[in-house]
Structure 1
């Protein structure tokens, strides 16, 4: 592994200070940034995603920012393919790829690879739904228990979406979801050096999240969502509009809550996102170096570990 090119990961929950540290690394250490953020990919969604400013992006360009329209889909597999291509290109130029963001599923897809699960089959899904109407979801759950007891134990009978998907995978491929998800990709030819940044105290992160949300509002977040709604082709079921803050602002504009309730729900949703990100990080299975938000030694720690 020591002969492989180095790749830096700078992970962390939202509002932990990743961007400022990444920009310094990019400008002083011959790094090039690849964004690992499922919200920053969308064009026209700048304020509510806390996207780096135009000045910051000019100073330290971020790959995989502003790459698709909010109407389009983008998967972890799409990210993995693009990130590998970019890492190879950056390393070939003698620079260090610096992957920055908080979408932990993207990091996992990159490191562990993706299972070869088949794409959805509408005909089979309709067939499963008809069987559920005729025989009940308990019957289908019993069927899953016979072909894939591990998945059946994990998936509740009252979770039709996941239950249907597990049966669909088996009917398409002839293999259980458990069997397919155990298939791993070949290790990537990179030496991953992984860092996570977060405040030590949860209350500090919560305060940072609330402060940043209110700064977004002051910067024109409401008008940004007004503009998105005015397109007429976007709706709340799209992954882009499920980004934290956007759903709450959209519902406020629909008259479902008042302004103060929107702020409260937006902050709570962002805190819940941060909690999920921290859960991912605490369970990270490979070596991870923790950094404290705001610590002036973070830059030197990364430079020393990466050298």
Structure 2
């Protein structure tokens, strides 16, 4: 070690390794700092003690300590309770080296590695009976999934705009949304800022799709995905009894909810009315319907919501209805 450490830009021991190198027990963060000093004095230019193995109350967070001989820096992340940690140390070291190779300083590279490893652990994969592996490709596939969502939405809305579907746009306008496969919140659901509006007999959008652009329809899709994750897209269209009848005649599964049954505590929260209504329908249905509608309420426009597995699926269903109007 006396010959190796002086050659290294940074040494990254975990808790057991730091205990072995420093000759001391590490039970808390203060001990990590002391161990980092001892290892630094062995010739290392920088020491980063990783706290993933730390026992005790510190397990609420995962804390790493970087020491450069002058000052300490702490890098923390929420502790993720999982057994799928195989390869964590190797992944962290690789990301740290990559960050340095990209021109980052030690501190920035360590922060980069911490963030990326935490994402990989949070999206880890259970394999076999032992410790599962990190999902080291999560960042790439997350970006790829986002781009695919935006492209599919744009294709579908272009298809809509070439047809005179303006009569299906409600007073509050429409929105066509598409969620990422692992969507958990509105920011992971893409839609159209400014919604889809009616211009004479045509449907038009104000700008290109973006993530987090829809609130109400995002709530619809996120609620549906809790029952069937393959249904990731939806669009709201203008309510009319004739339209509902056509939906039934063309063979769509049609369900509805009544806002009169809505609990008061749900009415007071913006967007939660739809979550309640859609969830009520799905809890009573053996399948995911093509259509969920309601006849409105006080200050609420009646609405039809078309569900599908992707934007083109939704648009195709809307066109089938439109042909019979």
Q: TM-score, normalised by structure 2?
A: 0.19
Higher helix share: 1
Q: TM-score, normalised by structure 1?
A: 0.20
Higher strand share: 2
